[in-house]
A and B are shown apart, each in its own frame.
Chain A
Amino acid sequence: MALLGLSTLTHKQDVDAMIRDTLDKVLVLRFGRATDPLCMQLDETLGKSSRELSKFASIALVDVDAQEIQVYLHYFDITLIPATVFFFNSQHMKMDSGTPDHTKWIGAFHSKQDFIDVVETIYKGAMRGKLIVNCPLPADRVPKFELLYKDI
Chain B
Amino acid sequence: MGAKGFSFCAVCRRNHEQGRGHRYSAGHRNALQSVLGKTRMKIEGVRGFLGNPLAQAPSHRFWCLFCEEDVADDQGSSSIACSNAIHHLASAAHVSNVKRFWCENGADANTRHDFFFSRKEIADWEAVCGDGALADSSSVATTQGATENNIHHERFLAAKSSQSPSVCVEPLQKISKDQTLQVNGATAHKHTVAAFGGNLATVSPRPLVSSKGNVHSGAPPPWLSDLPTHGSDDGCPKGISKRKRREMERLDKRVGAAWANRRKAQLERDAAPRREEAANDWLPSFGRVWQNGSRRDSRKEFEMEKKKLREETTNSTPPAVQPYVGKRKHLQMEMEAGGGKHD
Asked if A78 and B205 sit within 8 Å, CB to CB, the answer is yes
Does A20 sit within 8 A of B, measured CB to CB?
Answer: yes
Asked if A80 and B201 sit within 8 Å, CB to CB, the answer is yes
Asked if B194 and A148 sit within 8 Å, CB to CB, the answer is yes
B219: A residues at CB distance < 8 A? 75
B214: A residues at CB distance < 8 A? 74-77
Assuming the A-B contacts A24-B260, A72-B222, A90-B224, are A79 and B177 also in contact, with contact meaning beta carbons closer than 8 angstroms in the complex? no
B264: A residues at CB distance < 8 A? 23
Residues B186-229 near A (CB distance < 8 A) = 188-206, 208, 211, 214-217, 219, 221-224, 226-227
Closest to B204 in A: A79
Of the candidates B188, B222, B224, the one whose C-beta lies within 8 Å of that of A71 is B222
Assuming the A-B contacts A20-B223, A74-B214, A79-B192, are A88 and B201 also in contact, with contact meaning beta carbons closer than 8 angstroms in the complex? no
Q: Given the complex of chains A and B, what is the CA–CA distance between A144 and B198 in angstroms? A: 7
- The number of chain B residues with a CB under 8 A from chain A is 48
Q: What's the count of A-B pairs with C-beta under 8 Å? A: 162
Interchain nearest-CB distance for A149 vs B (Å): 4
Q: Mark A112-152, 1 if CB is under 8 A from B, else 0.
A: 00000000000001111111111000000001111111111
Q: Given the complex of chains A and B, what is the CA–CA distance between A41 and B224 in angstroms? A: 31
Assuming the A-B contacts A21-B267, A24-B254, A74-B214, are A89 and B259 also in contact, with contact meaning beta carbons closer than 8 angstroms in the complex? yes
Interchain nearest-CB distance for A121 vs B (Å): 12
Asked if B197 and A144 sit within 8 Å, CB to CB, the answer is yes
Q: Mark B252-276, 1 if CB is under 8 A from A, else 0.
A: 0111110110011001000000000
Assuming the A-B contacts A89-B256, A131-B255, are A70 and B208 also in contact, with contact meaning beta carbons closer than 8 angstroms in the complex? yes
Does A61 sit within 8 A of B, measured CB to CB?
Answer: no
Interchain nearest-CB distance for B12 vs A (Å): 26
Does B159 sit within 8 A of A, measured CB to CB?
Answer: no
Q: Given the complex of chains A and B, what is the CA–CA distance between A93 and B215 in angstroms? A: 11
B198: A residues at CB distance < 8 A? 107, 143-145
B200: A residues at CB distance < 8 A? 38, 80-82, 106-107, 143, 145
Interchain nearest-CB distance for A132 vs B (Å): 5
Asked if A19 and B223 sit within 8 Å, CB to CB, the answer is yes
A143: B residues at CB distance < 8 A? 197-198, 200
Q: Which of B188, B201, B216, B221 has the most CB of A within 10 A?
A: B201
Closest to A71 in B: B222
Does A92 sit within 8 A of B, measured CB to CB?
Answer: yes
Q: Mark B152-181, 1 if CB is under 8 A from A, else 0.
A: 000000000000000000000001011111
Residues A56-108 near B (CB distance < 8 A) = 64, 67, 70-82, 88-93, 96, 102-103, 106-107
Of the candidates B199, B201, B205, the one whose C-beta lies within 8 Å of that of A74 is B205
Asked if A74 and B208 sit within 8 Å, CB to CB, the answer is yes
Asked if A33 and B201 sit within 8 Å, CB to CB, the answer is yes
Asked if A127 and B254 sit within 8 Å, CB to CB, the answer is yes
Q: Which of A82, A103, A107, A131 has the most CB of B within 10 A?
A: A131
Asked if A38 and B201 sit within 8 Å, CB to CB, the answer is yes
Q: Given the complex of chains A and B, what is the CA–CA distance between A103 and B175 in angstroms? A: 12
Does A110 sit within 8 A of B, measured CB to CB?
Answer: no
Does A46 sit within 8 A of B, measured CB to CB?
Answer: no
A129: B residues at CB distance < 8 A? 253-255
Asked if A127 and B194 sit within 8 Å, CB to CB, the answer is no
Closest to B190 in A: A149
Q: Given the complex of chains A and B, what is the CA–CA distance between A90 and B257 in angstroms? A: 10
B215: A residues at CB distance < 8 A? 75-77, 92, 103
Residues of A that sit less than 8 Å from B by CB: 12, 15-16, 19-21, 23-24, 33, 36-39, 64, 67, 70-82, 88-93, 96, 102-103, 106-107, 125-134, 143-152
> Can you give 16 contacting A-B residue pairs, CB < 8 Å?
A15-B223, A38-B201, A74-B208, A77-B216, A80-B196, A90-B256, A90-B259, A91-B259, A129-B254, A130-B177, A144-B197, A145-B198, A146-B197, A147-B195, A148-B192, A149-B190
Instruction: Given contacts A88-B255, A128-B253, list 7 more A-B pairs with CB under 8 A.
Output: A80-B200, A89-B257, A96-B175, A107-B198, A126-B255, A145-B195, A151-B190
